[in-house]
């Protein structure tokens, strides 16, 4: 296996394990076993767990940035883009019910540990906040765009946490429907004012 392919497999496996088990509970040995490599081969690519964390965060930022960009490039309206963002909850329904939000859970864990990686994890929220704010600005909601973006982030994080706490209830689907109805009302308010 080429060195770059091995490194990528390590990052992908660490990403999954950090999400499913948590950063603190995942060891070098866990990641090496998941990839199927020796610890020596593992250390060739990453000397510390923090280096792996940085690579995982970098990967998550890159993937989310590409995802959000593809929605805008698909010539969707700003409202459709925000609705797709809300729809992430349903798209990842099973994982969210089992493990919560991968971004929220990682940030929360790193914040509790007072870990230096906390700022990198916050960049994921910043990416979403800025992207959502721009969509609301594009809807004509310039003055309250940031507040609306934060509302979506706060609501989606709360929904993800409670869907993880109550995985067998139709809670998640109902909340997504309510969030989309709220978005419709926000978009309609601008239409009436404009």
Q: What is the rounded CA–CA span in Å between residue 93 and residue 87?
A: 9
Count of residues for the chain? Answer: 194
Q: What residues does each domain of the chain span?
A: 1-47, 54-188
With 0-12 / 13-18 / 19 or more C-beta atoms within 10 angstroms meaning exposed / middle / buried, residue 156 is buried
Cβ atoms of 141 and 80 within 8 Å: the answer is no
Task: Give the domain 54-188 fold.
Answer: Tetracycline Repressor; domain 2 (1.10.357)
pLDDT in tens, 71-125: 999 988 999 999 999 999 999 999 999 999 999 999 999 999 999 999 999 999 9
The band of 194, judged by pLDDT with boundaries at 50, 70 and 90, is very low
What's the whole-model pTM score? Answer: 0.92
DSSP 8-class letter at 15: H
Architecture field, domain 1-47: Orthogonal Bundle (1.10)
């Amino acid at each position: 296996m080429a060195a770059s392919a091995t490194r990528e497999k390590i990052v992908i496996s660490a990403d999954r394990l950090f999400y499913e088990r948590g950063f603190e509970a995942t060891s070098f040995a866990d990641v090496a076993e998941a990839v199927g490599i020796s610890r020596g081969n593992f250390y060739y690519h990453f000397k510390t767990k923090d280096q792996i964390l940085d690579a995982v965060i970098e990967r998550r930022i890159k993937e989310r940035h590409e995802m959000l960009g593809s929605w805008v490039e698909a010539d969707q309206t700003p409202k459709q883009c925000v609705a797709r963002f809300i729809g992430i909850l349903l798209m990842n329904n099973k994982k969210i019910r089992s493990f919560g939000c991968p971004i929220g859970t990682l940030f929360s864990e790193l914040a509790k540990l007072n870990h230096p990686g906390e700022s990198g994890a916050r960049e994921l929220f910043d990416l979403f906040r800025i992207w959502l704010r721009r969509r609301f600005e594009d809807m004509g909601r310039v003055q309250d765009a940031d507040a609306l973006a934060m509302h979506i982030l706060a609501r989606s994080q709360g929904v993800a946490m409670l869907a993880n706490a109550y995985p067998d209830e139709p809670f998640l689907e109902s909340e997504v429907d309510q969030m989309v109805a709220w978005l419709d009302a926000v978009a309609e308010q601008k239409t009436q004012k404009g």
